[in-house]
Structure 1
């Protein structure tokens, strides 16, 4: 229950709530509009509105809507410098990413009336307060999940799987359920997880497609597991590379690895054994060697 509630709050914090400040910020400040154009990757674009909200909240709303003063948070030595981007989790050429943002913030733009600036500033402060509260509750539930997950009888088996820790493992356990007899076979568990494809055949025509009806929270957790597993598990990585070599797309390859990991998890839960890298991928390693 705690894990599911934490997931719902996280999706609220990173979904609609985080997207709402973006149009407000873009209306509030032409400077912000120019900065958001240089957000770059999807990851940057998702998080830049909150950064701009906080910056505009601190900014004096009385007269200017563009330009910066030296040493201010918007200056190159402030919040949008390369070091700040690195702390925010940005990757790649941070200096190149920071340069257009700094140039946009140093540019003079049209001025809005003080009363309009004050109204937009109030809206932004309210949105920041909502997001900050959601973040606090996510952190509180995070601690609750970590404190109670280890008490479950299957916690050790779940945590032994590649890519699963106390938080993601709790999500997977909660969505699958803890009844060891709930799934008659590994195929049944895979079907519930939506990792196994649907095959439709008619005459000489055969179509393989992903399942449309599924548990959103479970498949989200499993794909997140795979994203880590292919970095820490040689077997998962080799299986992922094999799917890509067959011209499978990125998402399709991740789903195939997730399908295999669900099967491995089912076997571990059924037999009460911990994950073993050699055992889990032995037959795949043999096929690759052949």
Structure 2
């Protein structure tokens, strides 16, 4: 068929066919097949499966779903807000034109370019109870008398994974916020200074309103990414101790590949996906408002 005889709409669909076929084969079909598995009792080590309806979902909701949700929210909120504050502070300092800002900008990006698993093993060594750098420094400084098992206690283990994720993610927040600060018209600050506004008042009245949009997007994106984060938690604690750092990502992995229970793992993953869809829908709605 001659392409010149096709309408614009038909030709557009023709161009989309390869992409749609790839999407259906790689994303849509595996996703639907996985969700269907949630309605069956199926194991990785035994052949066959039996239809159980909503029993897997009921078991998940009646099991450790709520503690896992709590852990996921604690990690996600902590690993989003703390690097945001650090990144915002550094962006403000770099935007002020401090000496050596170009070198510092490159230096602060260093944690961001390191693979997540490498970062996790680095901090695993830092937090080690026997030969970790953190215990050594605190002992030498006189802050602690005996070594602390940072990854062996529920509270300190959660703090450890949040600190690790903070170190890895604050650079990209800093870059995004710095880009937003550099788009701010200097005339606004100059006018505020002429009116007698100090640094704090200029920050509250000029900088914060200007940065509201980009700050919201950065926070929302980081929240979504942290809600599905896996490698840092799995390398540092494996979800322990006593499940205190077990998030949805770790719980799904453990259920499927350690418990060999595909039915319950898929049911848990389906509920997790629904929560993620709510976050994504909120993000898309915000983006639509920002662009309109």
Question: Shorter-chain TM-score: which interval?
Answer: under 0.3
Q: Which has the higher helix share?
A: 2
Q: TM-score, normalised by structure 1?
A: 0.22
Structure number with higher relative contact order (C-alpha < 8 Å, ≥ 6 residues apart): 2
